[in-house]
Structure 1
């Protein structure tokens, strides 16, 4: 099963979940993205994990995850809706602090990322596009 055949996203309902569900969410995404080259798939899973963790930690909980496959170049779009309208903010952590590096990873591994708010729904969606044409990745296999 490939997300984004024709640009149609596959959805994972995150209502009622918390950060303890991240392994199951990654497992769902990994199964769907099994035809990607390993480095690309791992980048997608890392970006997905960081965005979802931020939704749980800073966004009042996650609502929905969408994965969309875009064909040329092989690209996966990740959208995570959460319960906040506060946009994500990259900060520069001190070398001795534990956290605060997730959005730097998202920024490094993504072709683009950002957020959009939905004021009527009192939510926002953080999105990222992860491509397979980065220097360290093998090309995606086609089914």
Structure 2
């Protein structure tokens, strides 16, 4: 996904992968977004990791990851398809259990996020839009 690709997504087929592939997904996305300001890129990578991890852990496995760069507004859209029709939900905070905080991060770092069911394939897509802070918008346009 080159900086001038507009709203054309870059995608990775995740069929047959598991959560051990998260580091390689982050490297792939970081390479595509290398010209973004570091804070924006790191937010995108964190959100991508959380959504993909949820697909592996709660969604019956991930199918596809798509990144779409939108220059106006300065934003990166993340879409992760999985094998479950159950929508993600934010768990109440607190407790000492490992996990359960990922969607709180997603909710904090995104301008919007949600999911849509794909009934014909018996799955869903979880999507998120990570906006660019005003101080980093110039890097989004390069």
Distance (Å, rounded) in 1 between the aligned partners of 2:14 and 2:79: 12
Aligned to 1:9: 9
Report whether the alignment pairs 1:121 with 2:110: no
Q: CA deviation at 1:72?
A: 1.4
CA 1:92–1:86: 2 relative to 1, 3 Å: same
- State the TM-score, normalized to the length of structure 1: 0.93
May I ask how many residue pairs the two structures share in their alignment?
141
Counterparts of 2:122 and 2:93 in 1: how far apart (Å)? 29
Aligned to 1:80: 80
**C-alpha root-mean-square deviation of aligned residues, in Å?**
1.5
Specify every segment of 5 or more residues in structure 1 that has no aligned partner in the other structure, as ranges. Answer: none
Partner of 1:110: 110
TM-score (norm 2): 0.93
- Report the counterpart of residue 38 of structure 2 in structure 1: 38
In structure 2, list runs of 5 or more residues that go unmatched: none
| Counterparts of 1:42 and 1:124, CA distance in 2 | 25
Query: 2:26 maps to which residue?
Result: 26
- Secondary structure of residue in 2 paired with 1:98: coil
